Every structure is written in C-alpha cells, then in structure tokens.
Chains A and B, each alone.
Chain A
C-alpha cells in the first residue's frame, strides 16, 4: 500500500527566502507525481506534474524534482512571497490504468512579510 509523507506539517519563513518542501513515498512503482496548492476553504490547484520518466519540472518560481529510486520528491520555491502562503500537497499517481492519487497530509506554509 502506497504511503506518502510530508514533513514538517507546518513551516514559517520570511519573505524572499528560497525554500524546499519535501515529500517521500514508500512504493517506487509510480506513474507520476503531482504537487498541489490548497488555499483555506478552497479546492486544489495543480502546480506541477512530473511523469515517472522525468527528473524535474519547472513553472515560474517553482521547481519540482523526482527521484523514484529513493522515493523522494522536492518542491523548490524561489524568492518566496506572502501570496505563496497556503498548504502544499504532494500526490503520487499509481502505475497502470488506475490513475488513483495517494496524497500526503500537506505542508502549511506561511511567508511572513
């Protein structure tokens, strides 16, 4: 059974800092990995999708990496801003026709002005 872990549960940083959010998973037989952002009381916004054959994806100030062999992914946020404050969820997509996502509990990020 796939398990996804995100530690720490919460993180507070000053504005402008570069930061890394970590995600680990137990079963390396994955199809893809997706990072989401969730604002309070809202749904999930997809940030980056990495296919299992890829090592990283970039979008603006965000960069996500994937190391399947070690069961780890990182989300790098450059020059953090108060608007980046949200919960960041990592989700692993199952291999095969069933594209079920298994989520971590998320990391709540607070960027202080």
Chain B
C-alpha cells in the first residue's frame, strides 16, 4: 500500500513570508497528525485531525500557523508569517483504529 505522501520535500523562504505544506495520508486512515521536529529534538505534535475535525491543536501557534483537512483526506499546514524559529522538519503521519502511526518523509523548512 502507498505510504504517507508529503510535498514539497524542501523549502527555503525569508522571514515574514508565507509557506504551505501538503499531506496525503494512507488510504482509509481517519486520523492525521502534523508534527514539528527541530534539529536534535523529537517530533512535537502541532495538530491532530479525526476525519475533518480537530482533536488536538493545543501546541499549534495559532497566531501564525493554520491547518485544514478538507473532506477528511488531504491536509494542508500553513505558516504566515514565518519566523526564523520555524526552521524545522514538518512531518505528517496517519493512523487507523489501532493507533500505530505511519510517517511521511517530511518537509524540511529553512527560514532565512
């Protein structure tokens, strides 16, 4: 079966610009997660969707980050405006009922 797809793989932007990341989960997986992984750290959950509803966005900086999951499948994560500290790898994961999470390759964001 196809894995979790993410694009783009790499993105370089200047601070105060905006950027968007896309994720396509494994077919049939109802739960979708966005994580932020800063260099040398473990991933940190930003937002969790169950179908197209938000389950947890407690660690999402809502003044600059937004995410949506239309029709309960694909998802987009947006940052506007970006700051230097947003430089990280953004990982998308999906899971079915057994809660084992499967991760995509990630998008490496560099903010200059």
B45 interface residue per 8 A CB criterion: yes
Known A-B contacts A42-B106, A44-B91; the reply to A103 vs B101 at CB < 8 A is no
B75 within 8 A of A: no
Q: A43-B104, A43-B105 are in contact. Are A100 and B48 (CB under 8 A)?
A: yes
A34 touches B106 (CB 8 A): no
Interface residues of B in 22-81 (CB under 8 A from A): 31, 33, 40-45, 48, 55-56
Tell me the number of A-to-B contacts counted with CB atoms below 8 Å. Answer: 59
Contact B99 A31 (CB under 8 A): yes
* Interface contact B102-A46, CB-CB below 8 Å: yes
CB <8 Å contact, A105 and B106: no
> Interface size bucket, A side?
20 to 34
Residues of B within 8 A of A98 (CB): 48, 55-56
B9 to chain A, nearest CB (A): 9
CA distance A45 to B104 in the complex (A): 9
Which single residue of chain B is at the shortest CB-CB distance from A45? B103
Tell me if A77 is interfacial: C-beta within 8 Å of chain B: no
In the bound complex, how far is the Cα of B42 from the Cα of A34, in angstroms?
13
Q: Verify A99–B95 contact, CB threshold 8 A.
A: yes
B-contacting residues of A (Cβ < 8 Å)?
A: 4, 31-32, 34, 36, 41-46, 49, 89, 91, 93, 97-106
